[in-house]
Amino acid sequence: MALQLNEENDGRIFLVQASGKLTMEDYEHFVPEVDRLIARHGQLSILFNMHDFHGWKAGAMWADTKFAYKHFSDIARLAVVGEKAWHHGMAIFCKPFTKADVRYFDQSDLDKARAWLREEHLIESGGPKREG
């Protein structure tokens, strides 16, 4: 499987480790997990970590498009973590397909990406406020 899935912050942050090429089977595993967390919490944040990632097979690209349409407003923050220039470009490309605040982080900044996602949930619970 090209995906490893984990939860943090009681399921409000969903970690997706992607490698190789994503397939339809990956989405058949991924989408129900996201649906379950959204049903429990409403919005959630996703860390999409690409390590040795090579994109999508044709059917998986269609599944990704359907996922983006269905969950347009369900994701608060999306941290895209990558290691190649096209990974950064992918973060920019996906912005029109979601209401999420999308940011790109290099692999060396994985901890910063996690901190940024946790910050959103601190704000929601009355914790530290954003600088404005």
Asked if the structure places residue 27 within a domain, the reply is yes
Parallel/antiparallel/unpaired status of strands 13-22 and 44-56? parallel
Asked if the structure places residue 44 within a domain, the reply is yes
pLDDT of residue 124: 54
Residues of the chain falling short of pLDDT 50: 1, 126-132
Asked if the structure places residue 129 within a domain, the reply is no
With beta carbons less than 8 A apart as the criterion, state whether 67 and 27 touch. Answer: yes
Cβ burial 45-65 (10 Å sphere, 16+ → b, else e): bbbbbbeebeebbeebeebbe
Asked if the structure places residue 132 within a domain, the reply is no
Asked if the structure places residue 130 within a domain, the reply is no
Number of domains in the chain: 1
Range of the domain at 99: 3-124
CATH number of the domain within which 104 lies: 3.30.750
pLDDT of residue 122: 59
pLDDT of residue 121: 61
Asked if the structure places residue 32 within a domain, the reply is yes
